[in-house]
Amino acid sequence: MVEAMEILQQIGQILAFLVLTLMYSVRSLVNFFIPAAYEPVKNVKGDVILITGGGSGLGRLLSIKLSKLGAKIVIWDVNEKGMEETVKMVKSNGGTIHHYKVDITKREEVYKVAEQVKKDAGDVTILINNAGVVSGYHLLDIPDHLIQRTFEVNAISHFWTTKAFLPSMISNKRGHIVTIASMAGHMGCSKLVDYCSSKFAAVGFDESLRVELEALGVTDIKTTCVCPFFIHGTGMFGDVAPKFTPVLTTEQVSESVILGILREDLYVMLPKSMRYSFWVKWILPWQVISMYMRHTVPDACPTPGMK
């Protein structure tokens, strides 16, 4: 009798899963055909937005643009001169901004400065894990400390920043965590073994965190994973010249990131056509995928980054 009840319960769970799968799939299909202009967006006026790597490139543009929307900006970076420039630009537009020199690879430093941010600016409501580095060497040529640095900045630091600000988001029932990952977090590339691996980790961090929050019943905290192709203007891939797919600009990416935040998108993939490429990855033979990647990006880092 007990076994029969368990079997019926399992059948009921499977049927419920199939019904919900159909419902969510239909809703997703309908949303696909809704023009972006008609999609609902949230208002970030009054939000406290913390952006790591805000002293240059994409982080600087996000700071300027989000401040224009009425958000209070907080930037972290190790580049004090760069942060000062960002501060000037934001304030020249009438924005509010706080800046702190922080090495996000140092856990205790992150926690300490996070407490100061709460005192100075209030509870962070949107966290943008943007800071990133690239070494740009073949695996056997990368000094060990650069491999560690790549993972510490591109992936492990996300744990420290999120642990610092997620508790207040949960308490306030309001929050959004944005992970600036990469298309390199979905497909490997020569001379970027450490970089791709760290971005795979960043993508996994976002997805796992989202699942965990949902499993805990935390529905007020949103997460967005941003996966752009190569970007000019970040100081990392300025001289890369891929074939077939054009390099993105920080202007293009910043606009898409902000729209993704406002719409609370789960993923922002740039260019948009890339979001359909992953189906192909698992269908075509590996030799085809490898050949495509090797010819599309013949040299991901003509000029290596870190030393």
Contact assessment for residue 261 and residue 158, using Cβ atoms and an 8 Å cutoff:
no
* Alpha helices for 173-300 (secondary structure H): 193-215, 250-263, 277-283, 286-296
Spatial contact of 74 and 122, defined as CB atoms under 8 Å apart:
no
CA 175 to each of CA 20, 162, 211, 231: distance values in angstroms, whole numbers, following the listed order: 26, 11, 15, 27
Residues known to be catalytic: 195
- Please count the CA atoms within 13 angstroms of the CA of 202 that sit on its side-chain side: 36
Q: Where do the DSSP E strands lie in the chain?
A: 48-52, 72-77, 96-101, 126-129, 175-180, 221-228, 231-232, 248-249, 267-270
Show Cβ contacts of residue 64 under 8 Å, excluding neighbours closer than 6 positions.
86, 89, 90, 93, 95
Residue from 215, 218, 197, 187 nearest 280 by CA: 187
Cβ atoms 179, 256 nearer than 8 A = no
Sequence-distant (6+) residues with CB within 8 A of 158 are 129, 179, 202, 205
